[in-house]
Structure 1
Amino acid sequence: MFKISGVACDTLLETCGSPLVVYDENKIDEQIRSYVNNFKSNVFDTEVVYASKAFTCTAMLEKLEQESASIDVVSGGELYVAIQANFPANRIYFHGNNKLDEEIEMALSYHVQTIVIDNMHEVERVVALADKLKQPVDVLIRINPKVEAHTHEFIATATPDSKFGISMDLVDEIKDMIAKIDACTYVTFKGFHSHIGSQILATEGFMAAIDKMVGFIKDINVDVSILNIGGGFGVRYTKEDQPVPTDIMCQTLIEALENALAQAQIQVDKVCMEPGRSIVGEAGYSLYTVGFTKQTQNKTFVFIDGGMADNIRPALYDAKYECIIANKDQQPAVRTYEIAGKCCESGDILIHDALLPEVEANDILVMFTTGAYGYSMASNYNRLNRPAVIFVKDGKARQVIARETFETQMILDVQKDIEL
């Protein structure tokens, strides 16, 4: 029987139900520490900022806080989780391309240290609300460095027509944004942010973005205290993926930053990076129970008790995964299967052509590397319940997110007259 950090998969399902999302805490801890310990420089301060959209809950944020990592949030909901976890406000970065006034006010009221500004309209809203609340806040301006990262078009964020940030070509507009910020008593311009995409498996794109951002800072000729180089570091989903090891990635980027800054003869006080997927992705496993199998003219289907409601990525991005049958992990693979979810959609296929032993009802199917964006993007499509989330470590398990029930789903199903 396949085990996760010393806990057998059948024990987990018998105890916690199926389907189930399971994280190996040791893997999470190792990744956080690897980033914090390796992203270091003698030239500037450094900060590891976890992209909490990959996966967030109070238990996850408590781990990050203990390891001296910071976080970024992209919505009032993610910020609210951080508040509930008592995460230090001075280590929260608030991102987003269309922050609502109530979200900005929430961030200011919680004394969030830094807001990452996406456009001129957002400058005006942050300035106005900071003045209204008389609450100081630092800001970074998100710059689009126009570096093409080799990734899926839906997760590339620095193409010329990306919805994120402001093109580095619009120098006059960027200077106007900085001037408007500088004119405000409560808002302080600190520097720039950039991000080129996600699930990037090589260093070249990051190094190109560093060169362009450092050159941009030199050319725009404004005081910059902080440069945030974003994240997007890839993980291994299948044997075709060869991600750069975390320590090598960090050391390569630090060297590129130090060289670029020295060559440009400019200085920054701090450089931030934003790993998300690469901290939790490979630590996560999705456990399912096999129901029926079905033979069609050309394919053999394995039906599981989850699907696109708990992992939309295959349908949305054509994301690839690998899997095993946990209770037959020592048996030879003999047949290819289509791993199909239970949602009422033809596109609800989690894995195509999975090579497995003979699969039978009640087998336990384990999908690997589901720790990033699986639970975060989960839905109640077909009124399915979101699964429970379990942390396991050295033979012990703890529940960190409860399984939804039909009753909890119905809490928001109300009929109430509204006075207009």
Structure 2
Amino acid sequence: MHLYGTSAVSDRGHLTIGGVDTVQLSKEYGTALYVYDVAMIREKARAFRNAFEQENVHYQVAYASKAFSCIAMVQLADEEGLSLDVVSGGELYTALQAGFPAERIHFHGNNKSDAEIRMALDAKIGCFVVDNFYELALLEQLAEEKGVRANILLRITPGIEAHTHDYILTGQEDSKFGFDLQSGQVEEAIQSAEKKSTLKLLGLHCHIGSQIFETTGFVMAIDKIFQYLSTWYESFGFAPEVLNLGGGFGIRYTADDQPIPVGDYIAAMTHAVKRNLSEGMAMPEIWIEPGRSLVGEAGLTLYTVGSHKHVPELRNYLAVDGGMSDNLRPALYQAKYEAAIANRMNETRDHLYSVAGKCCESGDMLIWDCKLQRAISGDVMAVFSTGAYGYSMANNYNRLPKPAVVFVENGEASLVVKRESYEDLIHHDLPLKQAIISK
């Protein structure tokens, strides 16, 4: 089977990642357990940056931290010279606590609160990606109160749909995100923003979807945006200093997925921008926001195999000590994964199983009908490509504690997020107070 990143098989027939035995990791840190291959994250970050360097353009590669955010991950992004995309006060707080340079933080979100905007202004972040007219007015008001000038991009929906799951399409006209390009909203927002002394309009942002395996959608979006930019440039002189083209670059979850090199995306984007520039219009700085494509394949989840159930002539169920509480994507998106029995890597994958989680929910199925090695209770199962939106979407359904997170690199493992305890689960609970009813 395909192995991911620095995964390999040891002499003992155990799966290793980053030079570390996954079976040993499961013993030391318990399961369910998220494990990240740091070398692979570094490699992917550098691939994006190198692709831009080859195109000889000004750029920023911003890690979309919604994919996976913790202090160690934010610090790793900083080490690799990335900017950072946050979408909430919690992600911003994590970034600031990690010591991430505020000037390289971009704040997204379609409903930023008053408190979140104030927090970001106080931190002097690099840029707000403004999503709607309400936010534009609120940001102007709060920036004026604080006597500061905020850098902004306007998020637009260009009406281009990516080939992806309906739930994660964000670039079409009917979307909760952004100003609609074709109805005149973007032009109105540009002219409004440019009149506000407390706002500095840097340019535009668009994001057309997720898990995209071709460059056509990006090029179509750029072509469409520049149809309008050319008119605006001629009529009132607007030219973006920055053009943020979002993320959505596809990764490999299963053998059906065929990702293309990141350089292909960057080359197609930059060439399309250059081709569309009007006479006299300067080349904008190009920003992108990879999240899943930086961390998705670098992460795997380890489980311990528990119960089995055989349904004659139909199915063999294999249950693990996790599920939709640590990986919500199969239930939410019908996402597909590959897996292996980590302590039996040299054995033949000739058993057909459906991998069930332990949550009290019939929809808690991690993988339907996958070929695995023979598995017995106590074996360690690895599910691959869980680095994006696993930990981020982890929850306490059925009061299951959230798993720990371990980074591995050069044969060493380090705990970067502690496993929740039962005590953690009730930390914020308050006892019922009996009301005294007077008669």
- Given the two structures, how large is their TM-score scaled by the length of structure 1? 0.96
Determine the C-alpha separation between the residues in 1 that align with 2:126 and 2:15.
Answer: 44
* Aligned pairs (5 A) from 1:45-194: 45-171=58-184, 173-194=185-206
Q: Which amino acid aligns with 1:169?
A: Q
Find 2:311's aligned residue among 296, 320, 324.
296
Query: Is the contact made by 1:215 and 1:264 (CA closer than 8 Å) also made in structure 2?
Result: no
- Give how far 1:265 is off: 5.8
Determine the C-alpha separation between the residues in 2 that align with 1:416 and 1:109.
Answer: 38
Determine the C-alpha separation between the residues in 2 that align with 1:177 and 1:253.
Answer: 25
**1:203 correspondence with 2:219:** no
- Matched residues, percent identical? 45
Query: Is the contact made by 1:285 and 1:370 (CA closer than 8 Å) also made in structure 2?
Result: yes
RMSD (CA atoms): 1.5
Secondary structure of the residue aligned to 2:343 is helix
Relative to structure 1, is the Cα distance of residues 264 and 340 closer, same or farther in structure 2, using a 3 angstrom cutoff?
farther
**1:254 correspondence with 2:270:** yes
- Give how far 1:202 is off: 1.1
Find 2:355's aligned residue among 339, 352, 360.
339
- Give how far 1:30 is off: 0.2
Determine the C-alpha separation between the residues in 2 that align with 1:336 and 1:267.
Answer: 58
Relative to structure 1, is the Cα distance of residues 265 and 207 closer, same or farther in structure 2, using a 3 angstrom cutoff?
farther
**1:213 correspondence with 2:228:** no
- Give how far 1:65 is off: 1.0
Residue-by-residue CA offset, 1:248-305 (whole Å, 9 max, x unaligned) = 32223222222233x6763243110111100000000000000111112311100000
* Aligned pairs (5 A) from 1:213-362: 213-221=225-233, 222-261=238-277, 266-297=281-312, 298-362=314-378
Secondary structure of the residue aligned to 1:338 is strand
Query: Is the contact made by 2:129 and 2:205 (CA closer than 8 Å) also made in structure 1?
Result: yes
Find 1:14's aligned residue among 27, 46, 63.
27
- Given the two structures, how large is their TM-score scaled by the length of structure 2? 0.92
Q: Which amino acid aligns with 1:108?
A: L
Partner of 1:23: 36
Query: Is the contact made by 1:49 and 1:274 (CA closer than 8 Å) also made in structure 2?
Result: yes
Determine the C-alpha separation between the residues in 1 that align with 2:82 and 2:146.
Answer: 28
- Give how far 1:122 is off: 0.9
Query: Is the contact made by 1:235 and 1:277 (CA closer than 8 Å) also made in structure 2?
Result: yes
- Give how far 1:43 is off: 6.2
Secondary structure of the residue aligned to 1:327 is coil
Determine the C-alpha separation between the residues in 2 that align with 1:87 and 1:402.
Answer: 21
Determine the C-alpha separation between the residues in 1 that align with 2:294 and 2:260.
Answer: 13
Q: Which amino acid aligns with 1:188?
A: K
- Give how far 1:363 is off: 0.7
Determine the C-alpha separation between the residues in 2 that align with 1:324 and 1:364.
Answer: 9
Determine the C-alpha separation between the residues in 1 that align with 2:107 and 2:54.
Answer: 25
Query: Is the contact made by 2:38 and 2:298 (CA closer than 8 Å) also made in structure 1?
Result: yes
Determine the C-alpha separation between the residues in 1 that align with 2:383 and 2:40.
Answer: 16
- Give how far 1:104 is off: 0.6
Q: Which amino acid aligns with 1:47?
A: Q
Residue-by-residue CA offset, 1:195-217 (whole Å, 9 max, x unaligned) = 00011111111111121122222
Aligned residues: 415
Secondary structure of the residue aligned to 2:308 is strand
Secondary structure of the residue aligned to 1:169 is coil
Q: Which amino acid aligns with 2:259?
A: P
Determine the C-alpha separation between the residues in 1 that align with 2:167 and 2:206.
Answer: 17
Query: Is the contact made by 1:43 and 1:258 (CA closer than 8 Å) also made in structure 2?
Result: no
Relative to structure 1, is the Cα distance of residues 336 and 264 closer, same or farther in structure 2, using a 3 angstrom cutoff?
farther
Determine the C-alpha separation between the residues in 2 that align with 1:170 and 1:230.
Answer: 21
